[in-house]
Amino acid sequence: MSDSSTFETDKSLACYNIAAVERDTGLSKDTLRVWERRYGFPNPVRDQHDERLYTLPQLEKLRLLRLLIDHGHRPSKIINCSTPELAQLISANSPEQAAPPEIEAIIQLLLSHDIEAFRTTLMQSLMRQGLLQFVTHTVSALNYWIGEAWLSGRIAIFDEHLYSEHLQNILRNAILSEPGRGSAPRVLLTSLPGEKHRIGLLMVEAVLATEGAACVALGAETPAIDIKHAVPAYAVDIVALSFSSAIPQAAALAGLAELRTLIPHNTEIWGGGGALARVRKAADGVLLLRSLDDMRYALQRWRVEHLQPDGQRKTPH
């Protein structure tokens, strides 16, 4: 029902209703209204029906605020800064130390907008190192430093989108051409609703592919109930979930605990990713993986427990 999300006034100044601002900034309607009540910003004009109409400059300031808040600033401290002041705060956010030279070189290529050179450099890095090394070293470092560069305003969102797309191309291509496919265990790989990052999932899938495990990849954001139904349908041994650091730690743990109540206990649950990196203990029957190497050990452990020396299952499911 949010069709006419933008209006065109006489002066051709586009105005956004509250639903459009929520979509474009990620700030909930409740938050937008309570900021207006408390801090006086944003202070949108009203249409003839007393509904809020935000201007483009307001929307741009809100996006800067969101970025700074995600980086640790408090709303009340920065909400009355001007847009240029906010931009300055963002650029002041330079990381403590510089990225390693080979990572920095790739970021520079991304900044140069030379797509071809960017793609071929990544491909060469993959060829030189092999898939496993490429994923566990180069890609994880790239993710970290590109995130930093985004927070410090060095690279734009669309550059990050482009990075994500091309890395997906490369990883999916590499996974497809990995020779061994489909021996035990069978791993269902996905994330819960709210976790949109796909690169982490693809990195896991790549490691599983190099280890020769059968991967049932469902992409991102599968509701827990659907995972429950998929487990018997695909006869999986393990459900692996990825939680990026964009997810609050407590939400990740709650999701794992909920899933544990839904699926049978002879199916293992593995959780990993940035959100869980500093967690000590999760729910009973949930295995925390703090790195991709951790997962390779867990895979070995599973095979020792469940497979005979000839590779056959001890108890076929």
Residues forming the site for a copy of itself (CB under 8 A): 1-6, 8, 12, 14, 23-24, 56, 59-60, 63, 113, 115-116, 156-159, 161-162, 164-165, 168-169, 172-173, 175-176, 181-182, 190, 193-194, 214, 216-219, 222-227, 229-230, 233-235, 248, 250-251, 254-255, 257-258, 261-262
CB of 17 to DNA, least distance (A): 5
Measured from the CB atom, the residue of 194 and 212 that comes closer to DNA is 194
Q: Which stretch binds DNA (CB under 7 A): 24-32, 146-154, 188-196, 258-266?
A: 24-32
CB of 49 to DNA, least distance (A): 4
- Mask for 214-253, x = binds DNA (CB under 7 A): ----------------------------------x-x---
Residue type, 115: I
> For residue 42, is the peptide bond before it cis, meaning its omega torsion is within 30 degrees of 0?
yes
CB of 102 to DNA, least distance (A): 32
Tokens, residue 141: 């470092």
Q: Which stretch binds DNA (CB under 7 A): 55-63, 68-76, 161-169, 183-191?
A: 68-76
Residues 30 to 59: which contact DNA by CB under 7 A? 30-31, 33-35, 37, 46, 49-52
Residue type, 69: I
Partner from DNA, a copy of itself, none binding residue 129, C-beta < 5-8 Å depending on class: none
Q: Which residues bind DNA (CB under 7 A)?
A: 1-4, 17-19, 28-31, 33-35, 37, 46, 49-52, 69, 72, 74-77, 248, 250
